[in-house]
Structure formats: structure tokens, C-alpha cells
Amino acid sequence: MHFVISVFVSLCILALIILFTEVFPVWVKAFFALGGSATTGYAIALLIKKIAKVTKWYKAPDLMLSFGIASVCVLVIVIICSIILKKRRDKKQAAA
């Protein structure tokens, strides 16, 4: 149940960022990106722990360690995607 709630919250944060891109200042978007990546990382950590328990492949990993690694990975992906999108936008504006 915690996994479903975490995924729902991260999707709500993503929807807020998409819907109100023009309205929010940069620091609010950064705050939402940080919160969204943390929530998504927590959901991924819960999923990893649940898979480890069900399959019994290995001992269930520590939740906080998995949460930290997953959150950092998601945040890095968000930063890389935003840099790529900004370069594309700048390239389109320069061509126009």
C-alpha cells in the first residue's frame, strides 16, 4: 500500500510541475523536482524491498540505503532531462 501511495504522490507532483510550468518560479520547480524525485526514489526502494522479500533471492535490503540510492538516481535523471530539454529549446529559439 505504501508503494501505491508513493507512486500516486509522485505522479501528482509531476502533474503539478507539468500543469503550472509557466506560473511557478524556478525555485518552486526545483523544490517540486526534489520532492518528486525523493518520493519516486522511496517508491522504487519499497518495490525493491518487496521484490526481495517475495522472491527470496537475497536478504531484504535496508530501506534507507535503497531510498537514498534510488532518490539520487531519479534526481540525476531529472537533471539530465532538464538540461537536454533546455538545449533543445535554446536551439529552436536560435533557429527561429
The tens digit of pLDDT for each residue in 64-84 reads: 677 777 778 878 887 888 888
**62 vs 59: CA distance, rounded Å:** 9
- Helix (H/G/I), strand (E/B), else coil: 61: coil
Indicate the range of 14-28, 46-60, 70-84 predicted with least confidence. Answer: 46-60
**Residue 8 pLDDT more than 80?**
yes
